[in-house]
């Protein structure tokens, strides 16, 4: 697929998806949704890539849905067609990000509003500019959250605060997002890329098998009892202990050098 609305880049073991509709604040329109899905699939099957960063071009991360397209769709698309579109197209972005066996970092450079906020929340980590703006503003448009926002936000800020944010649609900045636990850290705008890619490259040097299993078990564990979680950990650890990456990690520790993991 040729990309019109995103850019896919790779720097060593780190890939970046840039949402590239700056004239519309990277609103989810055109072929952007299909292109994001395709790009995440490319990252998935590229063994040289170990971390994915998602960011936006220009002054925004993602302003959410395209309002003009919403108006058109409300008149021309039936309820069942819209539901199927959400399931098979829009919401597939969320599932592709969460099911990717590689850590995903949102580099939130500006406004992350509505579905844009949900996509940032779907990522495993978030680094934000102090001047970034977050908002789950669906009720102001007579809508409910999509792209998993109602799943992610309560798990990060608690149900009471999430309910307040959804019901009021209040906008909060990067520093407030850090205080709430929505982002890992908020940094001055001029430091955003440096901090994000320092984290991404640091993670990319860890064992890929370990990273994949940590991500899978952590998210499954949010909905499991302790005993089941411990069983998952035991099974995963038995696989890791037999891996070449584990042997390389031990050798590197004993030889006092950085490990060179191969993902095997």
The pLDDT profile of the chain, 264 residues, written as one tens digit per residue, is 899 999 999 999 999 999 999 999 999 988 999 999 999 999 999 999 999 999 999 999 999 987 666 655 556 777 888 788 888 788 999 999 999 999 999 999 999 999 999 999 999 999 999 999 999 999 988 888 999 999 999 999 999 999 999 999 999 999 999 999 999 999 999 999 999 999 999 999 999 999 999 999 999 999 999 999 999 999 999 999 999 999 999 999 999 999 999 988
pLDDT (0 to 100) of residue 38: 97
- Per-residue model confidence (pLDDT) at position 141: 85
* Closest to 137 measured CA to CA, from 116, 159, 180, 166: 166
pLDDT in the model for residue 78: 78
Assess if CATH 1.10.12 describes domain 208-255.
Answer: yes
**What is the CATH number assigned to the segment(s) 6-204?**
3.90.226.10
Residue 165: predicted pLDDT: 97
pLDDT score of 77: 74
* pLDDT value, residue 262: 92
Sheet holding 185-187, edge to edge: 6-11, 14-19, 51-56, 104-108, 125-129, 185-187
Residue 27 has a pLDDT of: 95
Going by C-alpha positions, the residue among 213, 220, 204 that lies closest to residue 241 is 213
pLDDT at 70: 60
- pTM for the structure as a whole: 0.93
Q: Which two tokens stand for residue 32?
A: 């952007």
Measured distance CA(128)–CA(174) in Å, rounded: 6
Instruction: Report strand pairing: 60-62 vs 111-113.
Output: parallel
pLDDT of residue 72: 58
Which part of the chain has CATH 3.90.226.10? Answer: 6-204
The CATH 1.10.12 domain(s) of the chain lie at 208-255
The pLDDT value recorded for residue 203 is: 98
Whole-angstrom Cα distance, residue 20 to residue 56?
Answer: 6
């Amino acid at each position: 697929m040729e990309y019109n609305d995103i850019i896919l880049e790779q720097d060593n073991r780190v890939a970046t998806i840039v949402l590239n509709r700056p004239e519309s604040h990277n609103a989810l329109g055109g072929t952007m949704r299909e292109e994001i899905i395709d790009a995440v699939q490319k990252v998935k099957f590229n063994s040289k890539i170990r971390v994915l960063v998602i960011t936006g071009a220009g002054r925004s991360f993602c302003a959410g849905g395209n309002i003009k397209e919403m108006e058109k769709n409300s008149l021309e698309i039936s309820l069942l067609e819209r539901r199927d579109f959400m399931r098979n197209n829009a919401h597939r972005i969320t599932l592709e990000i969460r099911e990717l066996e590689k850590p995903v970092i949102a580099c939130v450079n500006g406004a992350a509003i509505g579905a844009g906020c949900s996509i940032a929340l779907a990522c495993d980590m978030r680094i934000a500019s102090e001047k970034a703006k977050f908002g789950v503003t669906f009720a102001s448009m007579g809508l409910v959250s999509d792209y998993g926002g109602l799943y992610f936000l309560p798990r990060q800020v608690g149900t009471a605060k999430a309910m307040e944010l959804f019901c009021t649609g209040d906008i909060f900045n990067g520093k407030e997002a850090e205080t709430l636990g929505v982002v890992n850290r908020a940094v001055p705008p001029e430091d955003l890329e440096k901090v994000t890619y320092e984290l991404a490259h640091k993670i990319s040097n860890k064992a890929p098998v370990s990273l994949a299993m940590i991500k899978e078990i952590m998210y499954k564990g949010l909905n499991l009892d302790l005993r089941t979680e411990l069983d998952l950990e035991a099974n995963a650890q038995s696989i890791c202990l037999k891996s070449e990456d584990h042997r390389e990690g031990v050798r590197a520790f004993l030889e006092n050098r950085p490990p060179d993991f191969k993902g095997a």
